[in-house]
């Protein structure tokens, strides 16, 4: 009896383990979002145990099949488990609701889904469209060359002349979704830019999804959590940032960031603002890696930061000119200014300049006549405290008015004033 009980217990544990593995699901890739994103519409296909059709699925592309294996090409159902064929993964939806549903498809080359989002008026700017997708074919199915789902995103607005006009960045073709040994939800999508349309504000944006892979062995997928959002800060950068930080070093601010992935990345433009909302100034440009899947470190220096709080962001620019913004970081600076004074003005044979400051630095001093011609230049090393420096070889200068301009090694103007030679 004990032996039979033990055997039964082992059997039940094995069954439980199989069920647990069957419902083990992972989610990969950073979510397609942007700073302060506002979600305008989303679709998670609801919940329940009864299969249904969906009004946004195009009947010209897919046929609803309520029961039975989804063996034919171009059929679908909205259901709470991906296993619409015995050899497909058995997985719940991505949303995680009890009996949450998703769209499950045996695909073919078709336009299969379309939804119109309405508003009192869409403002020009950046928007995102994204979704979660799973290749429901287990790894090795249809070997050695399985067909893989390739989703195309087409995003358009209804113009004043009642025609559909694509947003910049549309259509977007996502990467093929690979097979996997266990169920994996993958986030795909992109950002799209609505151009300025003058006084007319579009009231309808249409989102269309297509499958670019022909029917056959493979190209079977589940789809969930479609999202359409507004990016008030310009959309996500097409790079995966590990960090972005700013810290004061001396009288400068050091800016450092890293990427784990870059796609068509031409360059980074580092920008600074006094309030974090407006009047962004370019302070540095750093070349990107183009396409990369390894960790890369970048840095830039703001040689002349503002006194007080400085806000920084990165404008990331693609090869095709499209750009997006990173999140914003800030640092509060306490900049030690260098005082400069001319000891005797007007001067005769010697022009002496007094410096007072807390840091060591190198400065360049120039004398410019009234025609704009440079007549003398000196480079001086300044030490903490008070330092006095003299122009040499200026006794031969003609009498008259000159401009004395002094800059530090960061290019900051320390002094710009008139001096007179007697």
Question: Reduced to 3 states, what is the DSSP secondary structure of residue 5?
Answer: helix
Please tell me whether the overall predicted TM-score, pTM, comes out greater than 0.75 for this model: no
Token duo for residue 39: 């979600």
Token duo for residue 6: 């033990």
Over residues 226-239, the pLDDT tens digits come to 999 998 877 665 67
Question: Average of pLDDT values for 353-379?
Answer: 86
The whole-angstrom separation of Cα 116 and Cα 45 is 16
CA 375-380-381 angle, to 5 degrees, is 170
Is the pLDDT score of 74 beyond 60? yes
Question: Average of pLDDT values for 59-70?
Answer: 96
Domains of the chain: residue spans and CATH: 23-231 (2.60.120.200), 239-333 (2.60.40.10), 339-421 (2.60.40.2550)
Is the pLDDT score of 319 beyond 70? yes
Give the per-residue pLDDT at 1: 43
Over residues 150-195, the pLDDT tens digits come to 999 999 999 999 999 999 889 988 888 999 999 999 988 888 999 9
Contact 102, 79 (CB under 8 A): yes
> How large is the C-alpha radius of gyration of the chain?
32
Distance of CA 10 to the CA centre of its chain: 50
Going through 274-395 in order, the beta strands assigned E by DSSP cover 281-292, 296-302, 308-318, 323-325, 329-333, 339-342, 352-357, 361-368, 374-382, 385-390
Contact 74, 61 (CB under 8 A): yes
Burial of 198 (0-12, 13-18, 19+ CB in 10 A): exposed
């Amino acid at each position: 009896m004990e032996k039979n009980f033990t055997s039964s217990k082992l059997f039940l544990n094995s069954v439980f383990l199989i069920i647990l593995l069957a419902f083990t699901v992972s989610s990969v890739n950073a979510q397609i979002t942007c700073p302060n994103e506002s979600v305008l519409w989303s679709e998670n296909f609801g919940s329940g145990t009864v299969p249904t059709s969906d009004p946004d699925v195009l009947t010209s592309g897919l046929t609803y099949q309520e029961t039975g294996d989804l063996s034919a090409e171009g059929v679908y159902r909205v259901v709470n488990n991906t296993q619409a064929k015995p050899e497909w993964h058995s997985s719940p939806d991505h949303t995680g609701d009890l009996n949450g549903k998703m769209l499950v498809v045996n695909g073919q080359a078709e336009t299969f889904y379309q939804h119109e989002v309405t508003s009192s008026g869409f403002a020009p700017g950046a928007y995102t469209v994204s979704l979660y997708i799973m290749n429901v074919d287990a790894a090795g199915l249809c070997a050695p060359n399985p067909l893989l789902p390739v989703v195309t995103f087409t995003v358009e607005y209804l113009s004043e002349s009642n025609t559909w006009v694509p947003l910049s960045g549309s259509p977007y073709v996502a990467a093929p979704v690979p097979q996997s040994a266990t169920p994996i939800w993958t986030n795909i999508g992109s950002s799209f830019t609505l151009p300025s349309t003058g006084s007319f504000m579009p009231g309808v944006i249409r989102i269309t999804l297509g499958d670019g892979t022909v029917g056959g062995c493979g190209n079977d997928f589940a789809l969930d959590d479609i999202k359409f959002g507004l990016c008030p800060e310009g959309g996500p950068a097409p790079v995966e940032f590990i960090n972005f930080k700013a810290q004061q070093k001396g009288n400068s601010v050091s800016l450092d960031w890293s990427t784990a992935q870059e796609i068509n990345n031409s360059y980074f433009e580092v920008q600074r603002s006094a309030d974090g909302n407006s009047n962004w100034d370019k302070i540095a440009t750093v070349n990107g890696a183009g396409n990369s899947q390894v960790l890369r470190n970048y840095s830039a220096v703001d040689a002349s930061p503002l006194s007080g709080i400085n806000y920084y962001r990165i404008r990331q620019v693609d090869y095709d000119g499209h750009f997006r913004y990173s999140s914003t970081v800030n640092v509060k600076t306490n900049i030690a200014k260098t005082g400069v004074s001319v000891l005797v003005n007007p001067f005769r044979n010697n022009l002496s300049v007094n410096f007072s400051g807390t840091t060591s630095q190198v400065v360049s001093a120039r004398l410019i006549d009234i025609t704009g011609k440079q007549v003398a230049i000196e480079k001086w090393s300044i030490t903490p405290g008070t330092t006095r420096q003299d122009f040499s070889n200026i006794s031969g200068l003609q009498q008259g008015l000159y401009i004395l301009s002094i800059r530090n090694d960061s290019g900051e103007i320390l002094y710009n004033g008139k001096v007179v030679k007697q």
